[in-house]
Each structure stands twice: as C-alpha cells, then as structure tokens.
Copies of this chain bind each other. A is one copy, B any other.
Amino acid sequence: MPKTHRLDRAQVVAAAAEIADARGLEALTLAALAQRLEIRIPSLYNHIDGLDALRREIGLLGLRDLDVQLTRAAAGRQGTDALRAVARAYFLYARAHPGRYLAAQRPAREPDPELETAGANIVDLLRTILKPFALSARDQIHAVRGFRALIHGFVSLETTGGFGLPVDVDHSLERALGWFFEGLDHPGRTPRNRTK
C-alpha cells in the first residue's frame, strides 16, 4: 500500500521552510508538514529527527542562504557602500523568509559546528569589508557586533510589530546606519550632549 512518493530530506526541509515563512514558525507542526507532503506524520521520521531537529535544519538553511545573499551584495563594493548593500540584502532576506530567519535565531543547547561555521562565515565577510577602516583588532570585533546588532534589531523589532509609527522603517535603518558609519569614520570627537 505504501505509495510511490520517494521524498528525500532536502524536499522535506524545503517544504517545512516554506510553511515557516508563509504561516510563521509556530505554525510549523509535523501535522501541517505531513499534510502538505501528502504523507502520514510518522513517515517524516524517515527524513528528520523530530520537530526540534527540523527547526534547526531550517535555521541552518536560512543562515547559509543569508550568507550567499550578503556575499553577493558585497561583491564589487567597498567601505560603507558595501556595508549599506549588505544591510539592505540582510533586511530583504529576513523579510522574505521570516520563518527561516527566526529559526536561525534559535539558541543551540549543545555546541553545533555546522551552525557556528555558517555564522562565522557571515562574520568573516563583515570583517573583510571593515578592513579598510582604521580599526584596532578589538574595535573591529566591536564594529562587526554593532553592525549586526543594529540590522538584526531593526529586523526583529519590525517583524514583532515593535515600530508603531507610520514612518518608513527602511528609511530609519538608512539613517541609523549613517550615524553609525559617521562615528566609525570619525572617532574621538568631543562629545556635545554628554553634559548640556
């Protein structure tokens, strides 16, 4: 009676990622996935090791795809131009694939080399772009973190509805990046608003 379905792991993960993007990560259940694939729930266990492992797979997929997009955006650009292009690509990816992006945020309970490598690749890309800036090794790390935090913060606050006002979020990100780059480019000025 078993049908001639012949699915493989990649197809299962891809279908799961589409559900997560379209209906939200919390709507991704084995029941929903099995229904979309037209198989019974237990059959999924031939391809994946349960729901939690599936979420990890989706996050890993998202992280790797994100790296591809960011690398492409940075190609042929330098300095703040490259950073702006990367930020734009980051934002577009997270908007287009909110489920994968959220899954990539999931904290790992054990050390996970594959996830760590995927994350480190993105960090390396940013460090490469930041090379021309006159930053100490320590400051370079701070700058990468600040850049990531700024973009991720915008993405995260937007997707959770944190921005209530009817002002364009893209424009806010552009402006905030501008201020951040300003400081990166011209460090060590006299503070004006520290004490009024």
Contact = CB atoms under 8 A, between A and B. Distances in A.
A160 B106 contact: yes
A153 to B, nearest CB: 3
A182 interface: yes
Interface stretch (A32-40, A64-72, A133-141): A133-141
A2 interface: no
A101 to B, nearest CB: 12
B108 A179 contact: no
A156 B150 CA distance: 11
Given A176-B149, A184-B179, A107 B194 contact: no
Given A176-B146, A176-B149, A164 B120 contact: yes
Given A160-B106, A193-B133, A179 B175 contact: no
Contact of A154 (B78, B149, B181): B149
Interface string A22-41: 00000000000000000000
Contact of A152 (B120, B153, B192): B153
Contacts of A163: 145
A196 B153 contact: no
Given A181-B183, A187-B179, A153 B160 contact: no
Contacts of A193: 78-80, 132-133, 181, 184-185
A161 interface: yes
Interface of A: 78-81, 105-108, 116, 119-120, 123, 132-133, 138-139, 141-143, 145-146, 148-154, 156-157, 159-165, 167, 169, 171-173, 175-176, 178-187, 189, 191-196
Given A132-B193, A149-B176, A152-B162, 17 more contacts: A78-B193, A81-B194, A105-B160, A105-B162, A139-B175, A142-B172, A146-B179, A148-B162, A149-B173, A153-B153, A176-B180, A178-B183, A179-B180, A179-B187, A180-B180, A182-B183, A182-B186
